[in-house]
Amino acid sequence: MRNRLHLAALATCAAALATCTNNPYPDEDASKKVVYNTFVEAPKTLDPAVAYTTSAHAITGNIYDTLLEYHFLKRPYTLIPGIATEVPEPEPRTDGRVAYPFTLRPDLLYQDDPAFERGGKGRRTRGIVAADVAFELMRIADPAVNSPVIEPFSNLVGFREFSERLTERRKNEPGFAELPVPVQYERVGPIEGVRVLGPLELEILLANPYPQILYWFAMPFTTPVPWEAIEHYDGEEGRGHFADHPVGSGPFRLVQYDKQFRMVLEANPNWYGVRHPEWRAPGATYPDEGEPEDRQAGRLDPAVVGRPLPFLERIESRREKESIPRFNKFIQGYYDASGVIKESFDSVIENDRLSPTMKDRGVRLERSVAPSVYYMGFNMEDRVVGAAAGERGRRLRQAMSTAVDSKEWTRLFLNGRGVPAHSPLPPGIFGYESDYRNPFRTVDLDEARRLLKEAGYPGGIDPDTGKPLRLTFDSYQTTAQGLLQNQYFVDAWREIGLDVRIEASSYNQFQQKVRNGAYQIFSWGWVADYPDPENFLFLLTSEMARSRSGGPNTANFSNARYDQLFEKMKARENDAERLAMIREMLAILETERPWIELFHPEDYALYHGWLRNVKPAGMAFPTLKYRDLDPALREERRREWNRPVTWPAYALLAAGIAIVLPGVRTFYRERQ
């Protein structure tokens, strides 16, 4: 009997070992077109009027359809019609205003949602109308929504006035603030520059020429939003908040949203691309043209060209806070795409190319320079480093700029993943010229020392104190890694004799210092909202100065000629005259040096061979509807790569028995 029990126990152990698997997914999903992604932190909000982070747009961009969108393959980025029938042409008016007429496609439906019961019993969806776009624009203007993009939409005629009327009535009219939001908007009246001309016709009227407004209609901020969803998801009676319950009309819909754990998108059967493939709408059909490299990369495969979208059934995003387990699961084939983590960089990339091991696994590397810039800035209102110091301050900034080697910095801290920046404009943006070399961004310590001498600080010595000139570098980087990264710059300045002290504080304290103007040098970054030089060069206009308007010009740079050129440049198409203006603006920045431009980050993304139609977008615009995968190949590879190694378990068991058994025998022998 006892022997039988032992045998049964051993058999159970053996069976348990035989069924061991590291596959984190149910077996039934193996043959489905499900893409597995990861996220570190869930977005704070999925409200399209508010969500502004890349991680949020990765979700909202696929749930909410936009009037316009970007061509998947063409570079430079090109706008194509989304749920609008065409990209509108500007219609200048005699009073200097500019109108953009939009027409929505007919028979567009929202995803099914219980919120639509508000419009009629048993209703699960309804058609999209132009008024839904106007409603969303009112939400952006509503101060209570806290949209971060109020500024660009202030170009709409009557936008600010709507906001003021709403605030006024909420403040002064008893009971008004308690009314449902759509009712409040209705009572306040529309935004003057957003005119609903018919069920599907909408006209946008701008007070001044602002061609970049079209890019905003390719972002989820301007998506049609059903008033029923805003009214329904008010957080009362267990209904949750609209920020967690997106109700859109895009190619996917959110079916599971657990911020701690998992987000699941599923193909939306109500999407116009699914219901009307015969339209062959540009945003609902795989493109048939792109760049020459797209053909080489298989992105213009005749098998997919012209096919209706989307190809995927589901997208599962699982929370992975730790980078190493996340990367290991990619290597095991359980995630379809990954970035390159610092810890594994050398085993993945060899001589700037994919390592043979990775190539053998069928992994592809896609590199792209993000449309963003990282920089250090000087507070131009500071009496030592700023404009008030006149030529002395200018020379000091030039000297400090010439001493900083950002190429070496990216090599040390980012495995070289960054293009040294010579101006605020990154590659791929109109006005970027690859042969342009900023003399003050070309490292030359002797030149830096000479400039410092001209500034009146020979050898870095401040004549007032007889000691090295002491400056402060304010940073919100408080981690050991962050401090080390900043120390690199401080050491570079020490080489030319300056005594720069890092003052690291929490992000909030740092923000407080910025608000109070109590800073000299800082570091920051900017990621483009849309691919236009205006979206970078506005960061240094007087109007955007932090001290004046709380805008993003933290350097508080103010130059009349620069502002004048900016106003002209932003309203022009990409032509030679615009390029000339940009060149002049960059020349001003080159001399004045409110920034030390550091680098434009380069993204390295890895994809398994079974994932198809992948093209790094740089900006956060949705591309999931174009992706496809081969589940059979994936399953085959996963099985091949993940066979459990069971012999150590048996060896361990045998070793345990070998150790214990003689002891037991000896014990009983001695007892007897």
* Chain residues in the site for other proteins (CB under 8 A): 17, 20-27, 41-42, 44-45, 52, 143-144, 146, 148, 167, 235, 241, 243-244, 258-261, 318-322, 324-325, 328-329, 332, 334, 507-508, 511, 550, 642-646, 648-649, 659-660, 663-664, 666-667, 671
Q: Apex CA 603: angle with CA 602 and CA 607, to 5°? A: 150
Phi, psi of 365 (to 5 degrees): -110, 130
Assigned token pair, 100: 């953009």
Nearer to other proteins, 220 or 468 (CB): 220
**DSSP code at position 271:** S
CB-CB contact of 194 with 202 (8 Å): yes
Q: Which is nearer to other proteins, 16 or 303 (CB)?
A: 16
Shortest CB 542 distance to other proteins, Å? 19
Please, which contacts does 185-192 make with residues 24 or more away whose CB atoms are closer than 8 Å? Answer: 185/135, 185/138, 185/142, 188/162, 189/162, 189/165, 190/134, 190/138, 190/162, 191/134, 191/137, 191/138, 191/141, 191/156, 191/157, 191/158, 191/159, 191/161, 191/162, 192/157, 192/158, 192/161, 192/162
Q: What is the smallest separation between the CB atom of 657 and other proteins, expressed in angstroms? A: 12
Nearest to 300 by CA among 310, 312, 286: 286
**Is the Cβ of residue 23 or residue 415 nearer to other proteins in the bound state?**
23
Of 281, 287, 317, 268, which Cα lies nearest the Cα of 63?
A: 268
CB of 539 vs other proteins, minimal distance in Å: 14
Give the whole-angstrom CA distance, residue 384 versus residue 386: 6
Report the nearest approach of other proteins to the CB of residue 498 (Å). 30
CB of 120 to other proteins, least distance (A): 30
Strand partners, 206: 98, 156
Q: Between 10 and 388, whose beta carbon lies closer to other proteins?
A: 10
Tell me the closest approach of the beta carbon of residue 143 to other proteins, in angstroms.
5
Nearer to other proteins, 14 or 109 (CB): 14
C-beta separation of 486 from 502 below 8 A:
yes
Closer by beta carbon to other proteins, 113 or else 142: 142
Q: Which residues pair with 257 in a beta bridge?
A: 263
Taking the complex as a whole, the smallest distance from the CB of residue 249 to other proteins amounts, in Å, to: 25
Nearer to other proteins, 244 or 635 (CB): 244
**Distance in Å, CB of 662 to other proteins, minimum:** 9
Question: Hey, what are 243's tokens?
Answer: 């920020």
- Closer CB to other proteins, residue 323 or residue 368? 323
Residues 102, 133 contacting (CB under 8 angstroms) = yes
Q: For the CA atoms of 586, 592, 594, 595, what is the dihedral angle to 10 degrees?
A: 50
